[in-house]
Amino acid sequence: MIDFNRIFTVGAIGHTLEYDPMKTIHSAAYALLRRHGMTTIFGNPGSNELPFLKDFPEDFQYVLGLHEGAVVGMADGYALASGKPAFVNLHAAAGTGNGMGALTNSWYSHSPLVITAGQQVRSMIGVEAMLANVDASQLPKPLVKWSYEPATAQDVPRALSQAIHIANTSPKAPVYLSIPYDDWEKPSPLGVEHLLEREVQTAGAPDARQLAALTKHLNEANNPVLVLGPDVDATRSNDYAVALADKLKLPVWVAPSASRCPFPTRHPSFRGVLPAAIAGISKTLAGHDLIIVIGAPVFRYHQFAPGVYLPAGARLLHITSDPQEAARAPMGDALIGDIAETLRVLAEGVEEKAKSYPASLPALTDVQDEPHHLRPETLFDVLDAVAPPDAIYVKESTSTTTAFWQRMNMRHPGSYYFPAAGGLGFGLPAAVGVQLAQPDRRVVALIGDGSANYGITALWTAAQYHIPVVFIILKNGTYGALRWFAGVLNVEEAPGLDVPGLDFCAIAKGYGVKAVHTDTRDSFEAALRAALDSTEPTLIEVPTVTIQPH
């Protein structure tokens, strides 16, 4: 709880604030980062960044990535799993460009990243000297919420404070600061200490009238359905969603292109993940008169399958913290507000229904592995049986998504992360960041062989910092999701769909990570148990059968 009286009284009576001297922009910046608990820095430095890293404080940790895409991915995972802003330090324009592929996922997952990039000295920017970031604030757009290059060195601490607060206010998102490297040695401005006293909060809960209307709609609906998105998990509102489902006994779907798991997958209301297509969603939700979407866009479509946006007789109500998501939706009524508080009030306010839960989902069928190739379903069954109940799964095997959701029992908040924009290269680095943020839970990365190469350098970081992620490479020799799409689009003969000749055990060992090849259920289970018992990272390569993602 913030003591506003203390904050305002300190300024009002002119009390001398007790902080360490912040004589330079450099010392002020580190004091500000320390104040917000941002003492882990993810980076890949160039010459423009070295002055910022001078006299690196002992209470900070620098996590080095070998490519900026991996750096942003690690920070993304760290921010998602911790729920707090993560600090990223990139190298000027080239480094920012290398990180922008990963930034697409951060933008759509509402990750609070504070990204700084070194800039050439101020006197050399205009002549476009080597490593000058020309028009720096425009470079990362539209993938950041705010982008800025301070006009003077003395504005750097204030701008950094603004960046932290903007990144961390709903809807959370990445922000970007370009900082000339000769600014760090300049003296701090007067009053810089007040930045350490500031708090910025939001109070975006719907008012009583709005909440009463939502509750009335739910109470009066004959056949309502709940669709939950990643922001339910991000705000740790999962239990409120369960309470709402328990009172109304309504079916619960996860919004399409799911990047997090907002609802326990073995709960009797759980139905699965909606298809990412207009016609598919309308068909799946047919028969419902009220569709309540919470914490997700309406909707993240992927496959082009045109149709009517809503089934006949259905009304859609959308609850989101993101004004842009609310504004761009093609149908329904939207309410912008606090996800957790809205779900809590709804769960408490609705009338309990005297009816049964939805009919049980069909029983899972047994699958038959091929010689020296596991079915992905087999792999997931072993994982579900062997991994700890609170294990965290970072997944980037896009062709196995449906099988994963069907067979995995995820019951705890913060148990699943997937690239929110579909940008490959998220999984390996994000798993490293998630494990750093959640050292008391085991992180298992499920990565396709096509996806793995986009972020493979994160293996080095895991080895160097002794981060005990279990990396599982599902190796089918092809881009499985593309293979499926090639059939849908009738372009099966398109080039570039296969990736033969990859030896991930050799690659992992080259980066310093223990690796093992398994091609039977028993050998995979043995390797998994050993990896989970280890305090070091392990890679398990598993040849798998290619299956359809839908």
How many whole angstroms separate alpha carbon 375 and alpha carbon 405? Answer: 15
The one-character DSSP state at 192 is: G
Exactly one of 46, 427, 450, 455 is catalytic; name it.
46
Nearest one of 10, 83, 52 to 340, comparing CA atoms: 83
SS3 471: strand
In this structure, how many other beta carbons lie within 10 angstroms of the beta carbon of residue 197?
14
How many whole angstroms separate alpha carbon 538 and alpha carbon 227? Answer: 36
HEC-encoded secondary structure of 309-322: CCCCCCEEEEEECC
Exactly one of 68, 149, 377, 525 is catalytic; name it.
68
Nearest one of 241, 240, 236, 239 to 253, comparing CA atoms: 241
Helical spans, DSSP H, in 356-400? 376-386
For the packed helices 68-82 and 427-437, what is the interaxial angle rounded to 10 degrees?
40
How many whole angstroms separate alpha carbon 269 and alpha carbon 464? Answer: 44
- Whether 422 sits among the annotated catalytic residues: the reply is yes
Nearest one of 513, 512, 517, 492 to 502, comparing CA atoms: 517
Q: Which amino acid is at 534?
A: S
- Cβ–Cβ under 8 Å, residues 38 and 86: yes
Nearest one of 48, 85, 92, 50 to 68, comparing CA atoms: 92
Q: What is the largest distance, in Å, between two alpha-carbon atoms of the chain? A: 78
- Whether 194 sits among the annotated catalytic residues: the reply is no
- Whether 272 sits among the annotated catalytic residues: the reply is no
Exactly one of 26, 27, 43, 49 is catalytic; name it.
49
- Whether 37 sits among the annotated catalytic residues: the reply is no
For the packed helices 25-35 and 156-168, what is the interaxial angle rounded to 10 degrees?
20
Q: Which two tokens stand for residue 470?
A: 């279990």
Contacts of 11 (CB under 8 A, 6+ apart): 194, 197
How many whole angstroms separate alpha carbon 409 and alpha carbon 16? Answer: 55
SS3 468: coil
- Whether 67 sits among the annotated catalytic residues: the reply is no
Exactly one of 77, 280, 337, 422 is catalytic; name it.
422
Contacts 24+ apart (CB under 8 A), 243-248: 243/347, 243/348, 244/343, 244/346, 244/347, 244/350, 245/269, 247/347, 247/350, 247/351, 247/352, 247/353, 248/218, 248/224, 248/350, 248/352, 248/353
How many whole angstroms separate alpha carbon 36 and alpha carbon 353? Answer: 45
- Whether 47 sits among the annotated catalytic residues: the reply is yes
Exactly one of 302, 373, 412, 550 is catalytic; name it.
302
Measure the CA angle with vertex 476, ends 475 and 482; round to 5°. 120
Q: Which two tokens stand for residue 425?
A: 């290269």
How many whole angstroms separate alpha carbon 285 and alpha carbon 312? Answer: 10
- Whether 91 sits among the annotated catalytic residues: the reply is yes
Catalytic residues: 46-47, 49, 68, 91, 302, 422
